[in-house]
Structure 1
Amino acid sequence: MSSSSAPHHAAPKRAGIPLGKIAGIPVYLAYSWFIIAGFTIIAYGPAVLHDFPYLGGWAYFVAFAYALLLAVSVLIHELAHALSAKAFNWPTEKIVLNLWGGHTQFQNFTASPGRAVVVAMAGPAANFVLAAALAPFVLSRSFEGVADMLANILMWANFLIGIFNVLPGTPLDGGRLVESAVWKATGSQDKGAIAAGWSGRLVAVALFLWFVVLPLLRGVRLDITFTLITLLVCGFLWMGASGSIRHAHFRSRLYLVSASGLAEPAVGLPNAASVADVVAIAPSGSPAVVVCGPDGKPQGLVDPRAAAAVPHEALATTPVTAVSHALAPGAYVPEWSKGQELIQYLAKLEGGEYAVVDHNGTVTGLLRQQAVVTAITGKEARRGGRA
């Protein structure tokens, strides 16, 4: 169970089956949830049938009811995240219940170490409260038969969900404790996220050693189902932690991304111009020449090699559009664009070249995808890739 943020103007993606809204927050059931539901039925159905043979095939419906109760527990966990965030005016985009439990997707917000901890810890706290609320009924044996079994399992499941989520590493909620502590000490959220990511990797390795390697060294025969679950959980933790580290490194370099700072010099020409006009302002292929439509908006880019191949006697009669290729629709950005906002906008565009314009709409530069990717990753962009 984790939380993440997304730009408020990002294109909506289908999250799964809509379950409605709670406190104005859309809730979705991801299709991957049915995998864990199926696993629960297969794993617990025979056990229910063994304890209550009179149920017959209904034992598997009881196992499915357990899967539904777990989903409700996860939903309560995620709602605790969302409602505590709402207290700080952090807008929640959606809650998704999925294969790994669930996650709460936030829109853009301004966080602080203390508030991040409160929102993160609200989830496990809700599970502890639910487990504590069930404890008196379970311990006093207030229920009988199947109801008693479900209440017992649900109590311990919520207790374990709470314990598991406070482990100190991303993508678990406890990772926020590490992140916030380092953030508070260094003043850098990115350093905190990287530390939490490495802590999450250590948690994954520790769980693998404790539940798989040590039993093997002791000669204990491993349960196949439990071992498979352990490996899946450790893999999930490792991937989530690694993703957090990569994302933090990405964020730490965003200050380098600036349309004006990364753009190469360029000038604009109307699409009624000729190649002779191109040669006059860019005789050696520099600066870049952007072709603009009648409305003044960039629509194409001159290919210097194609322009150089035009015979001298045909320069004045060859239109500039004959030696240019089209830019993607909307492939121009204000010269003051920078950081995350610029990255998010470019990610929506096709192609890898973008005109840079000033306040008057005049072309001042040409921003290439490769320059953006190099700035944020330190690596050369692959041809045909997206920024």
Structure 2
Amino acid sequence: MNGLGTRSRPRKETTGTVSHRTIALDAGNYDLKFWNGAGHPRAIRSMRFQLPQGRDPVRYSDQSPLIELPDGTRYHFGTQAYKYRRQQQTVVENKVDLARLHLYACLESERDEEMSQFPLHVYASTPDPSRNADTIKSQLLGMHEFKRNGIPFRITVEHVEVEREGIGAYRYAQQLGLIPDSGYTIVVDIGGGTWLTRLIDAEGDVIDENVMDRGGSYELATAISFDRRLIDALGTTVDPAIVMDGFKSGHTYADTGLSWSLWLEEYLDPWFKGIFQTIKAQYTPYMPRVTRFLVTGGSSHLIAERLAGRKLFAVMPDPQFANVRGLYPVAEGWQLCMTTK
């Protein structure tokens, strides 16, 4: 792929008076993760419903925002979209084309603001920047006007950086001391729609990589959705998106109480083996120099138990938000305090 050899250095953001806001945005196929550098990163379920002009919205909130464009088009994001008859799932779309809408969904207003008006710097990621970075930048740079939960926004995006997905997690792992100071690290980022790997040397250079456009947890959920045991118990077709939700809530299907936990292993084992057999095949020449497998991404919890106690493996804490934390610019003082072990 293009762009190999790019160094994954922590960025610096100048200190002093800040005249703009900054947001790190990891727009995933399952959820939209974002962080302004304070508190805990937030997430919005990556689905939406486009409301007809004559339709009133259901209740909206910061976790499930209502976006209105200047032409009157309205989109309801997040889990509240389940309350409409049909939803649009990002996992089956090209999320690059949705960069502008995803940014709007993730821009929260300050308390008691009647109008949110500010310059903005955006730090985003995509699986393949060489293919998608220019498209994302063209959507985001410049002036934007919209309403979020009824509050008018007028923002000017002055600066956009687009990084490889997974590099943010590597940078955050450095801050946590999870990256050895010698040898190569393989970042394994398992998401909702995709999974990817980056081979990174001790200097932070990406020397090889692989992006699988499919094969994330949506593929696992789709396989489970065709199982007769679940279909027959439910009495109708199974929605893979709801199965994906179940991966984070006891492997149950919505509020039905139906569970696939007793036979999950039949699907999880080949899914897991397929990922790591692909990794082994690609990186065999480098394996003698690999000192860490860094496992991250919103779906990595599905395999965390399998990797527990394995010497070379480290599963990121709070892996859903590891990438977005590392995307946010590191203040110079913190950068100087970063350690590795």
TM-score range, shorter chain: under 0.3
Give 1 or 2: higher strand fraction.
2
Give 1 or 2: higher helix fraction.
1
Q: TM-score, normalised by structure 2?
A: 0.26
Give the greater-gyration-radius structure (CA).
1
